[in-house]
Amino acid sequence: MSASLAPPQGLEPEREFPAQSYPDNIPLWTENYCFVAYDPSSQVGLWTHLGRAPFDSTLWRELSIVYLPDGERLVNKGYGRGQTPRGPGGATMAFQCVEPFRQWRMSRDGGSIRTTVGQLYHGMVTDQRHERVGFDVTLDCFGGVWDWGEVEDAHKWGKLHYEQLVGVKGTISIGGQSIPFDGQGLRDHTSGARDFTTFASHIWSWANFPSGRGFILLHLVVNGQYLTRAVVQENGTLTAVDLRNSPVLTDRSQHADPYVLELGEHRINAEILHPFPNGFDGPNDICIGYDPSVTATANFENLSRFEWDGEVGYGHTERSIKIG
């Protein structure tokens, strides 16, 4: 990756760190950090999330997914108070800001459950045998910082909301075996009111390309209307573009189908490589797996391959659909 780092506009370095106060006058207020990465050479991926628990803002809910190339997934969900002045932390996982908007560290050492895409598609993970899973990776930021919080506040996705493309290097440990990791990803930081029940469907998609190009987009369907924001990145600079189509799910079974993004004058083809079915419970809880009696909204965290003007890049496709 050769793109230079554009300095953030209107974001102080302190915004990188966890909030020091918890507003009790904002219903459904929460704070979330989400880091996602994929190494195409090993076909191993990471999806990690540290968010304040819906029932206690001082408690961090941790979620981690390790995607294995054979279709198995190593998953965990837990709660803890491992926060430091430089980042959030749960029971077994922590994010640390090394240098604001330039470098982060993500680490974990704990137990995970081994499951499959088929099991997750047809049910939620229940307690069973765990195995030791850890990772220690560094996220080097090479993209501009995309701040879209003022847009998202109106649709309960978060008042503070910014994202940045990153390179990710380190190791993943599974049962004592160390796997080198060298890939690309994205990091996300959000705080404010969050309510997943306000939209009927959505897509959040992004990718990195070897030339330094990239894109990020969010597209929500709310009461039959579209809320869309998208940017493309070239030479470290982010440029707003229109999404000219609406590649959301109309049926849960479509989640692994290929799709197309029409971003301004750009046409990007997307292929799902490694799916992960899950669901949203209530306003802002995330469940591992899907059960229609609990998760009224079906969601998918799918690692993806993208082709843009003949260049291949990798990233992520998150799509949801409200059931019933």
pLDDT for position 27: 85
What band does 282 get if pLDDT is binned at 50, 70 and 90? confident
DSSP-assigned beta bridge partners for residue 295: none
What band does 149 get if pLDDT is binned at 50, 70 and 90? low
What's phi and psi for 307, nearest 5 deg? Answer: -125, 125
Q: How far is CA 266 from CA 215, 230, 241, 260, in A?
A: 11, 12, 9, 10
Question: Does 294 have pLDDT greater than 60?
Answer: yes
pLDDT for position 25: 80
Q: Where is pLDDT greater, at 152 or 143?
A: 143
Query: How confident is the model over 223-238, as a mean pLDDT?
Result: 93
* pLDDT tens-digit series, residues 90-105: 999 999 999 999 999 9
Cβ(124)–Cβ(130) under 8 Å?
Answer: no
Give the contacts of 239 (CB within 8 A, at least 6 positions apart). Answer: 231, 232, 233
Q: Cα 85–86–91 angle (5° rounding)?
A: 80
Cβ(208)–Cβ(315) under 8 Å?
Answer: yes
What band does 281 get if pLDDT is binned at 50, 70 and 90? very high
What band does 314 get if pLDDT is binned at 50, 70 and 90? very high
Question: Does 120 have pLDDT greater than 80?
Answer: yes
Indicate the helix (H) or strand (E) that contains 151: helix 149-152
Q: Where is pLDDT greater, at 183 or 284?
A: 183
- In a 10 Å sphere around its CB, with 0-12 CB exposed, 13-18 middle and 19+ buried, how is residue 27 labelled? exposed
* pLDDT tens-digit series, residues 243-268: 999 999 999 999 999 999 999 999 99
pLDDT for position 1: 46
pLDDT for position 303: 99
- Which letter, b or e, does each residue of 67-88 get, where b requires 16 or more Cβ atoms within 10 Å of its Cβ? bbeeeebbbbbeebebbeebbb
pLDDT for position 24: 76
Query: How confident is the model over 114-128, as a mean pLDDT?
Result: 97
What band does 7 get if pLDDT is binned at 50, 70 and 90? low
The amino acid occupying position 71 is G
* pLDDT tens-digit series, residues 39-79: 999 999 999 999 999 999 999 999 999 999 999 999 999 99
Query: How confident is the model over 273-298, as a mean pLDDT?
Result: 96
* pLDDT tens-digit series, residues 193-212: 888 888 999 999 999 999 99
What band does 241 get if pLDDT is binned at 50, 70 and 90? very high
Q: What is the CATH number of domain 29-322?
A: 2.40.370.10
What band does 155 get if pLDDT is binned at 50, 70 and 90? very low
Question: Does 38 have pLDDT greater than 70?
Answer: yes
Percent of the chain with pLDDT over 90: 83
Placement of tokens 């974990």 in the chain: 108
Q: Where is pLDDT greater, at 63 or 148?
A: 63
